[in-house]
């Protein structure tokens, strides 16, 4: 058995829309202290990169820099369950702020 089944968490966002998510920010803690430019999206990943030890994000997920060098960036209003919001300093990921 590969792992324990985790049912999706269901909640309501600030606009009253139902939001369900399977992953949590703690699931992406392996990204902390990595250079944001060295992380590869799933669509651009290959087996060769994976064999060489490159960090490839799960399918559909992408990184959004919410705070860069202590400067707050504007996040889009629409909810995206696959957006990983991070804080960076000199292109190094310092923390995973949220998903969505």
The pLDDT confidence band at residue 1, using thresholds 50, 70 and 90, is very low
d(CA 29, CA 32): 6
Which residues are registered as beta bridge partners of 67?
Answer: 72, 87
d(CA 62, CA 86): 11
Query: Residue ranges of the domains in the chain?
Result: 23-99
How does pLDDT run across 60-73, given as a tens digit for each residue? 899 999 999 989 88
Which of 70, 64, 55 has its CA nearest to residue 25?
64
- Residues of the chain with pLDDT > 90, as a percent, come to 38
d(CA 35, CA 18): 34
How does pLDDT run across 67-100, given as a tens digit for each residue? 999 898 887 788 788 899 999 999 999 999 988 7
- pTM for the model: 0.75
| 51 contact partners, CB below 8 Å, separation of at least 6 | none
Task: Provide the 10 A C-beta neighbour count for residue 30.
Answer: 9
């Amino acid at each position: 058995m590969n792992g324990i089944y985790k049912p999706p968490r269901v909640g309501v966002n600030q606009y009253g829309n139902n939001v369900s998510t399977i992953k949590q920010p703690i699931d992406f803690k392996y990204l902390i202290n990595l250079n944001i430019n060295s992380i590869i999206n799933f669509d651009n990943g290959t087996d060769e990169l994976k064999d060489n030890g490159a960090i490839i994000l799960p399918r559909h997920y992408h990184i959004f820099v919410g705070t860069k060098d202590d400067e707050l960036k504007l996040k889009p209003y629409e909810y995206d369950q696959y957006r990983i919001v991070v804080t960076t300093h000199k292109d190094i990921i310092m923390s995973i702020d949220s998903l969505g």
